Amino acid sequence: SLLPTATVATIARHAGQRVTLAGWVYHKTEKGKLIFILLRDGSGTIQCVTFKKNVSEATFATAQALTQESSCRITGSVRADERAPGGYELDVEEIELIGPSHDYPITPKEHGVEFLMEHRHLWVRSSKQHAILRIRAEVIAAAQEWLNEQGFVRFDTPILTATAAEGTTNLFATDYFDLGKAYLAQTGQLYVEAGMMAFGRVYCFGPTFRAEKSKTRRHLTEFWMIEPEVAFADHEDNMRLQEQFVSAIVARVLDRRREDLKVLERDTTVLEQVVPPFPRITYDQAIELIASHQGEVEGADPLPWGEDFGAPHETLIASKFDRPVFVERFPSAVKAFYMQPDPNRPEVALCADLLAPEGYGEIIGGSQRIHDPVLLEQRIREHGLRIEDYEWYLDLRRYGTVPHSGFGMGIERVVAWITGTRHIRETIPFPRQLYRIYP
């Protein structure tokens, strides 16, 4: 086996011991009889000190030949050193070259974003990308484990679907044998509602697709969404669940991924403030807020009642709060067909968008769902959708309907916010955008 006997992340356990590490050369400097190899093993980096008189001629020659991103196994003894970034160094005894690397394209100098995106398959090895993607993994683990602990059951929903759920203008279609067109799921919500009727509290988690024609720093055509759905929960219950959920995720990242946040130079004081309750404003109040702060954010011009916000409006609203803010009760006309109208004011929906601070935009969209079969059927028709396609969904209201609510949290938006990454393309290993499908 070529497996290492230790990893950089757990090197402290091996202080004073002889270990074999396996990884890639991140950086190398030579000073006469000394060669310093900064080895990256995926869990961290460590300085490996090769002193000519301590190693065989062959090993010293191997050290001299190592280039950026060569893979190798290095055996040596672990020595505590206060000056070392991780507190430890490795005194090299033996080096085995595994795979050479010549003219690695990503050098320590600055590269343009286009170049880096073309080399995304290599770029993910760089320290900042590595930190962002580790935090992504932590966010996903935190989200699922928190829901599991709260008694939610993961309920997987299909990606190939027959119907639209979030409007018909951004569907990806593909031929589906003799059955006509299939569409890539924009959301798992409609199916997770069926799961909710079986299990009470469920969530789905997976990739979702929107053929977004917009080229913004907040939109991907393929993004990952986690969507909890709760039976008997109303709009208020829904917002309470969301603020607890988001706070728990942020707290876990602060707890377990501090080093990565440091690499990203993230100001963590703003993340420490993310505790319930989150402020709430209505859509109407948001419209007034936008009008009274005209000119503060470019593009956030006043809107007539009934129009949806653009990204600049969201940035302006969020800038007035120190933690995520709910904007609730949007006009039904700008929202999806399944949202429950406010009984006191049927022109608005019992829904909320959760806006992240610092201009990262909407991280959650959620609502109470229509549970009345007659009203739901009417809404489906009003949206120009074919009733036949939604018979199964209407069945959920015909057999033991209950008021219920749920929401969808976009993983990449949350990761962008937590890591302080301006552009969403760096928050997923291989972003899919209007102009990008390679690599």
Query: Which entry of Mg ion, ligand 4AD, none binds 412, CB below 5 to 8 A by partner kind?
Result: ligand 4AD
Q: Which is nearer to ligand 4AD, 69 or 227 (CB)?
A: 227
What are the angstrom distances between the C-alpha of 148 and each of 130, 137, 291, 425?
27, 16, 42, 29
Q: Applying CB under 6 A, does 201 fall inside the site for ligand 4AD?
A: no
* Residue found under tokens 């913004």: 216
Return the structure tokens found at 243.
Answer: 């603020």
In the complex, minimum distance from the CB of residue 361 to ligand 4AD, in angstroms, rounded to a whole number: 8
Pairing of strands 351-356, 222-231: unpaired
Residues 311 and 361: beta-carbon distance below 8 Å? yes
Q: How far apart are CA 325 and CA 329, in angstroms?
A: 13
**Least distance (Å) from ligand 4AD to the CB of residue 167?**
9
- Is position 329 an interface residue for ligand 4AD (rule: CB under 6 A)? no
46 versus 339: smaller Cβ distance to ligand 4AD:
339
Site membership for ligand 4AD, residue 238 (CB under 6 A): no
Q: Which is nearer to ligand 4AD, 195 or 408 (CB)?
A: 408
The nearer residue to Mg ion, 365 or 403, going by C-beta atoms, is 365
Query: How many chain residues are in contact with ligand 4AD, going by CB under 6 A?
Result: 21
Contact present, 325 and 276 (Cβ < 8 Å)? no
Least separation in angstroms between residue 211's CB and ligand 4AD is: 9
Window 396 to 425, contacts with ligand 4AD (CB under 6 A): 406-408, 410, 412-413
Q: How far is the CB of 303 from ligand 4AD (least distance, A)?
A: 18
48 binds, options Mg ion, ligand 4AD, none, Cβ within 5 to 8 A by partner type: none
Scanning 8-16, 147-155, 269-277, 363-371 for contacts with ligand 4AD by CB under 6 A, the matching segment is: 363-371
Chosen residue from 365, 366, 410, 431 binding Mg ion by CB under 5 A: 365
Which lies closer to Mg ion via its Cβ, residue 44 or residue 406? 406
Q: Using alpha carbons only, give the angle 175, 179, 182 rounded to the nearest 5 degrees.
A: 45
* Closer by beta carbon to ligand 4AD, 21 or else 411: 411
Residues in 100-139 that interact with ligand 4AD by CB under 6 A: none
Pick the closer one to ligand 4AD by CB: 225 or 239: 225
* Residue 220 CB-half CA count within 13 A: 23
Which of 40, 134, 210, 371 contacts ligand 4AD by CB under 6 A? 210
Q: Is 363 in the site for ligand 4AD (CB under 6 A)?
A: yes
- Which CB sits closer to ligand 4AD, 75 or 242? 242
Task: Kindly state the tokens that stand for 28.
Answer: 């190398």
Q: Of 45-53, 146-154, 215-223, 301-309, which part binds ligand 4AD (CB under 6 A)?
A: 215-223
Of residues 157, 154, 133, 155, the one with CA closest to residue 144? 154
N-to-C CA span, the chain: 31
Q: Of the listed pieces 183-191, 241-249, 279-287, 361-369, which binds Mg ion according to CB under 5 A? A: 361-369
Q: Applying CB under 6 A, which of residues 138, 328, 362, 426 lies at the interface with ligand 4AD?
A: 362
Is 195 a binding residue for Mg ion by CB under 5 A? The answer is no
- Relative to beta strand 345-349, strand 341-342 is antiparallel
By CB under 6 A, the residues from 174 to 193 that bind ligand 4AD are 187, 189
How far CA 436 is from CA of 183, 206, 213, 238, in Å, comes to: 20, 20, 12, 36
Cβ 15 to ligand 4AD shortest distance, Å:
44
User: Cα Rg for the chain, rounded, in angstroms?
Assistant: 26
In the complex, the residues that contact ligand 4AD under the rule CB under 6 A are 166, 187, 189, 210, 212, 219-220, 223, 225, 227, 362-366, 406-408, 410, 412-413
Query: Which residues contribute to the site for Mg ion (CB under 5 A)?
Result: 365
